[in-house]
């Protein structure tokens, strides 16, 4: 600091001397200002960076335990087993076990990877530091590597200050930091940053005063560098997948435990209606339902609030767009076609039918299923294709023409037809996706569509009376629940 003061004093003296000599100081001051600005910005970029820390001083209610996370029993079991190596050091030494250095959490967004990492820190009584992969990559060479070194140093320092024997480092979006090397030929900063992470993990030892566990999270494991995934670095890969029905039920219970629910609320029904939802989606459903109750000045959250919240999370808020009479009629025909085929191919699958614009949709049918399905047969996929194309076929049968509203339906149907072909379930048998000629693929998919279209037309013709009554009810009410839809459909069938 003393040398800095002397340097500043000498610079001022030189400037005063030059001013006395009649020399114009403006160019000199301009150059000095630019240099100072550059040094300041560079120091900010390359200087110390603090990462998010969960330390001993946090309030108890802010701590997250594994009991606060629902729907990930298998992931929690794998993680807890790995964490026992940090907790029970003496026992693992007697068995000659090398403590795990890294655990990689892999799964879709919103499934609870960050929560699992925080719970891991709480479970082991460790200091917790969180960072994102994007925080390590800068345009200046060497900055990312410096920040990796600093992160590991900061983890040890935080653990020492809080009298902890271990620390958990959580790196979210690790694919930004750990992508395959050589992909950025014109910018070696990415590779240097990854190299430093590899070096730091190699330097971790069971004899360290502070034991460190690195937990990474990604939904793009396919682009990670193989050197990062090998044993001795990330020893375990834990799949954090979308919750099943039981898991969704547990997540809903967690997120509604501080909310007043009405007597008509069945969380089991909500869990059944939310197939494919992540934990983040379910938290949003509970929160949106509470907001709807607040808007209506209701003291409790009702089943209707939860149903509306599910639809809002899926499709977005209702829009002010009001189609004209002809368009509303076409939308009702289109959505009734979807719903009728859905109910025919999978009884009880229609949760609601709507002709109210939400998000990018002018109308929609919300479907659900009784059981989670993980393997799809050719009949199941064909039934889904039938539901997808039923809207356009209904328009053609009852209105004479199709519309552009079926464009997304056709794209989904084409993708499912390709699943049949590439899954070896078509007339072509087992094929390689890369070797099938385009013309042959096109002809096979067209054949699948023609067969399904004829079946859909026959089903719609057989239910024409019910179809017409459902359209009239839908235009009058704009919304039909699944139970109402089944009453209209089955009532007309019994009358016939």
The residues annotated with a catalytic role in the active site are 335
Dig out the tokens for 339 from the structure. 């719903």
Structure token digits, residue 388: 């997808």
Backbone angles phi, psi at 445, to 5 degrees: -65, -40
Q: Residues 108, 242: contact at Cβ < 8 Å?
A: yes
DSSP string, 387-444: HHHHHHHHHHHHHSS--GGGHHHHHHHHHHHHHHHHTT-STT-S--TTTS-HHHHHHH
Tokens read off for 2: 């003393």
Name which of 391, 383, 390 is nearest 417 in CA terms. 383
Beta-bridged to residue 168, according to DSSP, are 128, 213
Contact 413, 385 (CB under 8 A): yes
Tokens of 84: 């026992």
Q: Which of 244, 312, 305 is nearest to 278 (CA)?
A: 244
What are the beta bridge partners of residue 301? 261
CA distances from 364 to 368, 443, 452 (A): 13, 30, 21
Largest CA distance in the chain: 110
The strand pairing partners of 367, in sequence order, are: 350
408, 409, 411, 412: CA torsion to nearest 10:
120
The torsion of the CA quartet 173, 178, 179, 185, rounded to 10 degrees, works out to 130
The DSSP line for 216-268 is EEES-GGGB-HHHHSTTTEEEEEE-----HHHHHHHHHHHHTTS-B-TT--HH
d(CA 149, CA 167): 15
Strand order in 211-218's β-sheet? 52-54, 127-132, 166-172, 211-218, 102-106, 234-239
Q: Which two tokens stand for residue 3?
A: 């040398």
- For the record, the structure tokens of 318 come out as 């209702």
Are the CB atoms for 224 and 175 separated by under 8 Å?
yes
Burial of 428 (0-12, 13-18, 19+ CB in 10 A): middle
């Amino acid at each position: 600091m003393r040398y800095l003061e002397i340097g500043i004093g000498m610079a001022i003296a030189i400037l005063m001397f030059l001013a006395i000599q009649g020399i114009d100081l403006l160019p000199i001051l301009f150059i000095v200002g630019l240099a100072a600005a550059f040094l300041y910005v560079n120091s900010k970029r390359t200087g110390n960076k603090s990462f998010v820390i969960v330390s001993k001083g946090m309030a108890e209610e802010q701590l997250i335990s594994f009991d606060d996370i629902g729907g990930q029993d298998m992931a929690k079991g794998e993680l807890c087993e790995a964490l026992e190596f940090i907790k029970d050091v003496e026992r693992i030494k007697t068995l000659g076990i090398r403590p795990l250095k890294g655990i990689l959490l892999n799964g879709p967004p919103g499934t609870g990877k960050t929560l699992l990492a925080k719970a891991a820190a709480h479970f082991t009584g460790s200091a917790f530091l969180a960072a994102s992969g994007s925080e390590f990559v800068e345009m200046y060479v060497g900055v990312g590597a410096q920040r990796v070194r600093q992160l590991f140093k900061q983890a040890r320092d935080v653990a020492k200050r809080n009298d902890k024997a271990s620390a958990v480092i959580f790196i979210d979006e690790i694919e930004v930091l750990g992508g395959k090397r050589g992909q950025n030929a014109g910018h070696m900063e990415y590779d240097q940053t990854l190299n430093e992470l590899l070096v730091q993990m190699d330097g971790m030892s069971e004899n360290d005063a502070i034991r460190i566990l690195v937990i990474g999270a990604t939904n793009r494991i396919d682009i990670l560098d193989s050197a990062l995934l090998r044993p001795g670095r990330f020893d375990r890969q834990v799949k954090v997948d979308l919750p099943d029905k039981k898991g969704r039920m547990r997540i809903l219970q967690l997120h509604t435990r501080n909310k007043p629910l009405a007597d008509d609320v069945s969380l089991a029904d909500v869990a059944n209606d939310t197939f494919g939802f992540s934990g983040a989606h379910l938290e949003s459903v509970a929160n949106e339902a509470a907001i709807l109750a607040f808007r209506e000045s209701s003291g409790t959250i009702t089943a209707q609030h939860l149903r509306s919240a599910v639809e809002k999370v899926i499709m977005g808020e209702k829009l002010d767009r009001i189609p004209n009479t002809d368009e509303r009629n076409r939308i009702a025909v289109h959505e009734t076609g979807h719903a009728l085929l859905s109910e025919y191919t999978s009884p009880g699958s229609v949760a609601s039918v709507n002709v109210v614009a939400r998000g990018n949709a002018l109308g929609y049918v919300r479907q659900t299923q009784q059981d989670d399905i993980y393997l799809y047969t050719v009949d199941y996929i064909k039934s889904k294709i039938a539901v997808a194309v039923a809207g356009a076929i209904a328009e053609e049968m009852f209105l004479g023409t199709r519309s552009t509203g079926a464009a997304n339906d056709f794209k989904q149907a084409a993708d499912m037809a390709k699943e049949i072909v590439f899954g070896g379930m078509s007339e072509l048998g087992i094929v390689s996706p890369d070797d099938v000629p385009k013309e042959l693929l096109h002809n096979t998919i067209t054949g699948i569509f023609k067969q399904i279209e004829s079946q859909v037309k026959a089903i719609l013709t057989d239910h024409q009376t019910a179809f017409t009554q459902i359209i009239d009810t839908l235009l009058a009410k704009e919304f039909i629940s699944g139970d109402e839809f089944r009453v209209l459909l089955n009532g007309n069938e019994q009358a016939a």
